[in-house]
Amino acid sequence: LAKTTQPISMYSYEGQEVNITCSHNNIATNDYITWYQQFPSQGPRFIIQGYKTKVTNEVASLFIPADRKSSTLSLPRVSLSDTAVYYCLVGVHTGKLIFGQGTTLQVKP
């Protein structure tokens, strides 16, 4: 499965938009891009999934360029409760998920 690279940590302030970029140069044709969020001592929670172009739901947007070698998770108007670890994964979504170290996002007041 494709390896992903994302920043180890980021910080933002309440009310700002946060963009977390993930690199996946070896993504396969049938791979999807999925983002999960994890709070301490809890299981990861699905945020959004996409294959190409742009996907938006009530929580976030996912931007995927035409070459699909990267993707950007966009969180609009973050709050303190968005402080968490965010994981970018690529692969066939029904199979095993390969998590990297994720991006620790800290939202400050």
Residues that bind other proteins (CB under 8 A): 34, 41-46, 49, 87, 93-102
Residue number with CB closer to other proteins (67 or 94): 94
Contact 22, 6 (CB under 8 A): yes
Shortest distance in whole angstroms from residue 10 CB to other proteins: 16
Q: Are 36 and 6 in contact (CB under 8 A)?
A: no
What is the distance between the terminal CA atoms of the chain, rounded to a whole angstrom?
38
Q: Which is nearer to other proteins, 56 or 101 (CB)?
A: 101
Of 12 and 49, the one with the shorter C-beta distance to other proteins is: 49
